Every structure is written in C-alpha cells, then in structure tokens.
Amino acid sequence: MTYAIDPELLPWLDMLPAVTLTDHESLLAARSSMAQLRDVVPGYEPAPPVDVRDTAVPGPSDAPDVPVRVYSPAGRSAALPGLLYIHGGGFVMGDLDTFEAHLLRLVDELGIVVVSVDYRLAPEHPFPAPVEDCYAALSWVAAKADELGIDPARLGVAGESAGGGLSAAVALLARDRGGPQLCFQYLGIPELDDRLDTPSMRAYTDTPVWNRPNAVYSWTSYLGAEPGGPDVSPYAAPARAADLSGLPPAFVTTCQFDPLRDEGIAYAQRLAHAGVPVELRHYPGTFHGSSMVETAGVSRRMFADELDALRRGLGVTG
C-alpha cells in the first residue's frame, strides 16, 4: 500500500531501523538494530545537572532482581513528582539505554524523578514476567518514595508502544491488588490487544517500523502461545479488561499509519465510558515510531503534548 506520510518524515524512512520479526534470528537482528538507535537519535545534554544511577530492585516472587535507572534533578530540596517509565520494543526488544535521551529531556523540562525499568523480555521470558517486573519496580518506587525524593501523591506511569501496554497493565494491577496509588497514566501509541482484529491491524501489513506481521510475532512471543485465544489475561492484553473503572486519569496517543491505532482509540473510548478522565491525541501522517524524527513539526507537537500531559497529570508546578 501507499501511505500519505507527512512530507517531513519521508526523507528519514530509509534511516530508521528496519524491524522484521519472523523468527529468533530476525529478532536478534532487530535487537541489534534497535541498540544502534543511539547512533540515529541525537543525544541530549540537560541544562541543569541530572543525577543518573543504576540499581536493582527486588523482583517478583522467585524471580531475579529488576534493574532500574533513576534520573533525578541534581540539588533538589523538596519532594518531586515521580514517573515509572516502561520502554517500548514489542515486548521483545529494548533496554535502559534505548530511550535515555528522551528521559533526560523529560527530567530536564519537567523537574521530575524518573525511574526506568529494564524488564525481562519475551520470548525468553513470556507473560507474566515483563509486567510483573514492572509492577515490582512500581512497588519499590512507592516504598522508597522518601529516599528517592518523590511525592507519593504524584506518582504516575508512562510508556510507549509495548511500554504503553505494560503501563496500562501496571495501572490495572495496582488497582486490583490495592497497590501503589497512581495519579496518572501516559499511554503512548500503546500495544493493548492480542486479538489483532481492528481495521488498522488488519490493513497495515507493510507500514514502516511496525506492522501486522511484527505484531503477530510480538504477541506470540509475549503470550508463549498463538494470540487471540479465549483465556488471555487482561494484565497481558489490557484491552481484554472487562472493567476499566477506578483507573487513574489517562493520556493516550495514536499515529495514523500504525496497526496499533484503533486499539489505542478504542481503549481511550472505553476509559471515558468507564468514567476515567482521559485525553486522546491522534497525529495525522505519522507512523509507529515516527517521533524518532525529532526535527519534524508533527514530532515536535507530539513531544510538546507529552510534556503538557505529564505536567498536568503529575501536578508539576513552576
């Protein structure tokens, strides 16, 4: 198919990582390609100093500790809003380095504490390992809020792509387990529904970066079984959740030529119907991951909207 992609994005298509997921060999190649993103995406030097430290937090029961990276504004004197950040990568790719420039910029612009999670990846570690790692990290952040300089009343969760789906799942777990109280959830281009039956998922088989064949591989790896079965947990695929009431306010983004588009829109609609305050932003001419082209006007709008959403959702002042 041909797509009316934003003209500012078109020149970059050949420079973005080509992700084709068909088997384990292709996954290893895609992981290597994603690791090279640091050579494509510009780094970021925060104006005020940001303290960055790596540590490990207690993992789920009978599981390894979970590596996390903590970003804190240097010289803070009062408790700040906190954000648990969950990286994307289709449940099968990504690590703490993948989105470091983005997180440094968030800390610089917003003056918040960010804790990024290096959860275990599928298919080596299928559901529930990734989401349980993320929930363990959230529990640690809440328990260590004073030590981390976080105001526990202003703690949110955020992620993009698979990280957006995992963020939605963590919000469901926190509600259902009576866990840490979240004030906000940012669901960027989220991967939410293993049933793969929306119009955008059926149609977009050859879109840049992410497409239906990749989504099939992603969900098969994450579930350890064929997607779309009758007994998939809502903590794996949040679109399966029957009840979305009582969840924290949400901000959901979608891209036009993205197979995940319609499941993000549907989830935002269901949140609204359940009485959850939710905003939905849809960006024309974009595709999954197109925000990596930071110079494009639409990418600048996307980042400005993210900043504004986090500022309001986390109660950032000043």
Catalytic residues: 161, 258, 288
Neighbours of 243 (CB within 10 A): 12
CA angle 110, 175, 55 (to 5 degrees): 50
Instruction: Give helix then strand counts, H and E, for the chain.
Output: 9, 8
CA distances, 162 to each of 65, 130, 178, 188, 295 (Å):
21, 10, 24, 9, 24
How would you list the strands of the sheet with 80-86, edge to edge? 50-57, 66-73, 113-117, 80-86, 150-160, 184-188, 250-257, 278-287
How far apart, in whole angstroms, are the C-alpha atoms of residue 23 and residue 11?
Answer: 29
Instruction: Check if the beta carbon of residue 145 is closer than 8 Å to that of residue 82.
Output: yes
DSSP 253: E
Query: Could you tell me which of 70, 206, 240 has the C-alpha nearest to residue 150?
Result: 70
Instruction: Check if the beta carbon of residue 243 is closer than 8 Å to that of residue 274.
Output: yes
Helices (H), 156-295: 162-176, 199-203, 212-223, 261-273
Instruction: Check if the beta carbon of residue 89 is closer than 8 Å to that of residue 116.
Output: no
In the three-class reduction of DSSP (H, G, I as helix; E, B as strand; rest coil), residue 29 is classed as helix
Q: Which tokens sit at 270?
A: 């269901």
